[in-house]
Chain A
Amino acid sequence: MKDQKNKSILQRKRAVKRNLQAYTFMLPNLILFTVCSLYPVVWTLKYVFYQYGGYGTGVPRFVGLDNLARVFRDKVYWESVMHTFTYGFGKVLIIIPLAFFLAFLLNGQIRGNGVAQSIVFLPTIMSSAVMGLVFYLLFNAYNGEVNKYLMEAGIVTRPINWLGKDQAMKTLILTAVWGGVGNYMVYFIAGIQQVSEDAIESARIDGAGRLQTIWYIIIPMLGPILKIILMLAITSAFHDITNVMVLTEGGPNNSTMVMSLYGYRYFFPISAAEATVPQYGYGAAVSVISAVIAGAVTLGYLKISKKMDSIY
Chain B
Amino acid sequence: MAEMNRKHLSKTAWASIIGKWVFLGIIIIFTLYPVVYTVLGSLKTNAELTQGGGFFPAAWHFENYYQAFVQADFTKYTINSVIVSTSVTLLAAATCSMAGFILARKNFAGKKVLMALYLSMMFVSLGSVTLYPIYELLRALKLNKTIFALIIALTGGQAANVFLVMGFTKGIPRELDEAAIIDGCSLYGVYSRIILPLSKPILAVVALFSFRNAWNDYITSLIMTISMPKLQTLTVAVVQLKYSVNAAAEWHIMLAGASIAIIPILIVYLFANKQFIAGLTAGAVKG
Q: Which of A6-14, A66-74, A285-293, A304-312 contacts B (4 or more CB under 8 A)?
A: A285-293
Q: How far is the CB of B116 from chain A (nearest CB, A)?
A: 12
Check if A122 sits within 8 Å of B239, measured CB to CB.
Answer: no
Instruction: Identify which of residues 82-133 in chain B touch chain A, using a CB-to-CB cut-off of 8 Å.
Output: 91, 94-96, 98-99, 101-103, 106, 108-109, 111, 114, 117-118, 121, 123-133
- Contact with A129, one of B37, B125, B155, B216 (Cβ below 8 angstroms): B216
Q: How far is the CB of A104 from chain B (nearest CB, A)?
A: 10
Residue A213, interface by CB 8 Å: no
Please give, as numbers and ranges, the residues of chain B lying within 8 Å of A205 by CB-CB distance: none
Q: Which of B210-267 contact A (CB under 8 A)?
A: 212, 215-219, 222-223, 226, 234-235, 238-243, 251, 254-255, 258, 261-262, 265-266
Q: Give bound CA distance, A276 to B108, whole Å.
A: 47
B107, chain A: closest CB distance, angstroms: 8
Instruction: Select from chain A the residue with minimum beta-carbon distance to B19.
Output: A105
Stretch from B49-57, B68-76, B172-180 at the A interface: B49-57
Contacts A44-B133, A137-B254 hold; do A127 and B153 have CB atoms under 8 A apart?
no
- Decide if the interface of chain B is mainly helix, strand, loop or mixed: helix
By beta carbon, the residue of chain B nearest A16 is B109
- A168 CB, min distance to chain B CBs, angstroms: 16
Q: Is A153 an interface residue (CB 8 A)?
A: no
Whether, in the assembled complex, A121 has its beta carbon less than 8 Å from a beta carbon of chain B, the answer is: yes
Q: A126 contacts the other chain (Cβ, under 8 Å)?
A: yes
Q: Kindly state whether residue A242 has any CB partner on chain B within 8 Å.
A: yes
Q: Is B191 an interface residue (CB 8 A)?
A: yes
In the bound complex, what is the Cα–Cα distance between A106 and B37 (angstroms)? 26
Q: Chain A residue with minimal CB distance to B165? A: A29
- Judged by a CB distance under 8 angstroms, whether A166 is at the interface is no
Kindly state whether residue B63 has any CB partner on chain A within 8 Å.
no
A173 lies within 8 A of chain B by Cβ: no
Interface residues on A, range: 35 or more
Q: Is A128 an interface residue (CB 8 A)?
A: yes
Q: Which of A237-266 contact B (CB under 8 A)?
A: 239, 241-242, 245-246, 260, 263-264, 266
Q: Please name the residue on chain A nearest to B157 by beta carbon.
A: A37
Give the residues in chain A near B133, CB-CB below 8 Å: 39-40, 43-44
Q: Is there an interface contact between A38 and B235, defined as CB atoms closer than 8 Å?
A: no
| Cα–Cα, bound, A273→B242 (Å) | 10
Q: A280: which B residues are within 8 A, CB to CB? A: 132
Is A208 an interface residue, CB under 8 A from the partner?
no
Is the C-beta of A155 less than 8 angstroms from some C-beta in chain B? no
A275 interfacial by beta-carbon distance below 8 Å: no
Secondary structure dominating the interface of A: helix
Do B261 and A130 touch (CB < 8 A)?
A: yes
Residues of B within 8 A of A126 (CB): 35, 216, 262, 265-266
Closest chain-B Cβ to A43's Cβ sits at a distance in Å of: 4
Query: In the complex the two chains form, is A148's CB within 8 Å of B28's CB?
Result: no
Asked whether B158 lies within 8 Å of A268 as measured between CB atoms, the reply is: no
- Residue pair A133, B129 in contact (C-beta under 8 Å): no
CB distance from A109 to the nearest CB of B (A): 7
| B277 adjacent to A186 (CB under 8 Å) | yes
Roughly how many angstroms separate A218 CA and B35 CA in the complex, as a whole number? 34
Assess the B276–A125 pair: CB atoms within 8 A. yes
- Give the distance in Å from the alpha carbon of A28 to the alpha carbon of B1 in the complex: 53
Q: Is B31 an interface residue (CB 8 A)?
A: yes
A120 CA to B276 CA in the complex, in Å?
13
Determine if A134 and B239 form an interchain contact, defined as CB atoms under 8 angstroms apart.
Answer: no
Asked if B126 contacts A109 (CB within 8 A), the reply is no
Asked if B130 and A260 make an inter-chain contact with CB atoms under 8 angstroms apart, the answer reads no
Interface string of A210-248 (1 = CB under 8 A from B): 100000000000000000100010000001011001100
Closest to B127 in A: A260
Q: Judging by beta carbons under 8 Å apart, are B94 and A28 in contact?
A: yes
- B157–A267 CB distance below 8 A: no
Smallest CB gap from A260: residue in B: B127
Is A263 a contact of B129 with CB atoms below 8 Å? yes
Which of the listed residues B108, B118, B187, B243 has the most CB atoms from chain A within 10 Å of its own CB?
B108
Complexed CA–CA distance, A287 and B127 (Å): 8
Pair A187/B127 contact, Cβ less than 8 Å: no
Q: Nearest chain B CB to A213's CB is how many angstroms away?
A: 12
Give the complex CA separation of A182 and B35 in angstroms.
15
Task: Please give, as numbers and ranges, the residues of chain B lying within 8 Å of A241 by CB-CB distance.
Answer: 127-128, 219
Asked whether A33 and B157 contact (CB < 8 A) given A119-B32, A280-B132, the answer is: yes
Check: B7 CB closer than 8 A to any chain A CB: no
CA distance A28 to B99 in the complex (A): 8
| Chain A contacts for B265, CB-based, 8 A | 125-127
Of the listed stretches A75-83, A88-96, A110-118, chain B binds A110-118
A271 at the interface (CB under 8 A from B): yes
Q: A25-B102, A32-B156, A38-B121 are in contact. List 12 more A-B contacts (CB 8 A).
A: A32-B155, A35-B152, A37-B157, A122-B266, A122-B269, A125-B265, A129-B216, A130-B218, A133-B239, A133-B242, A137-B49, A242-B218
The 10 closest A-B pairs by CB, nearest first: A37-B157, A129-B218, A40-B130, A127-B216, A22-B108, A43-B133, A29-B99, A272-B243, A25-B102, A29-B95
Q: Give A contacts to B, CB under 8 Å.
A: 1, 18-19, 21-23, 25-26, 28-30, 32-33, 35-41, 43-44, 55, 102, 105-106, 108-110, 112, 116-123, 125-138, 143, 145, 148, 178, 182-183, 186-187, 190, 210, 228, 232, 239, 241-242, 245-246, 260, 263-264, 266-268, 271-273, 280, 283-284, 287-288, 290-291, 294-295
Q: What are 11 of the A-B contact pairs (CB < 8 Å)? A: A25-B187, A26-B114, A32-B155, A36-B156, A37-B159, A39-B134, A130-B235, A133-B241, A182-B31, A264-B129, A271-B243
